[in-house]
Amino acid sequence: VIPNTMSQNISLSNPVFTAFATSGLLLALKSLGTNIWVLTLKLRSSTVHAPEDKPFFDKTLGKGKLMTPKTGFGCDDPNVKRGYAVIQNDSENFPMFYVVGGLYVATGGSSSLPFGMFTVARYLHTLFYAWGVNPLGFTRGALYFTGLGATIYMGVHVAKQINLGGIV
């Protein structure tokens, strides 16, 4: 049996790589959608983040409100604040997933399931966060831990493959 090489792993003929690429694309589209949603919220509330943007709103909409640092994300509008919280949450979770997921594929990970789990969990987490609902009281937390569990599963595989100093 010839072991898989990294170039064989990182190929569209590898279903695990295809799952990683699909997941990456879906998460990028989710981020794009989230950013457009937040922009829409900012436009509706005439909220600007930077002082240099205020004249544009004053001229075009006649009511630019400058975001102030003292109120959390710099905005008094609760919807805009929630939108920024969704973006921050993704920013805290996506990089780790992309790095560990890429290493998982490169080191011959055999299951596509972690990519689907992470992606579905992040989409649902975003919807519940954006809508401000937490149906069971722990739904968002459960979705967060589902995504984290998928990332940890892949990380353990990577650690075993690189023999992390004999620790794993």
Model pLDDT, residue 71? 39
- All structural domains of the chain with their residue ranges: 21-166
Model pLDDT, residue 70? 39
Model pLDDT, residue 165? 60
Model pLDDT, residue 15? 93
Model pLDDT, residue 25? 98
Model pLDDT, residue 80? 87
User: In this structure, are residues 144 and 138 in contact, taking their beta carbons and an 8 Å threshold?
Assistant: no
Model pLDDT, residue 134? 84
List, for the chain, all residue ranges whose pLDDT scores fall below the cut of 50.
1-2, 64, 67-73
Looking at CATH, the fold of the domain delimited by 21-166 is given as Four Helix Bundle (Hemerythrin (Met), subunit A) (1.20.120)
Model pLDDT, residue 135? 80
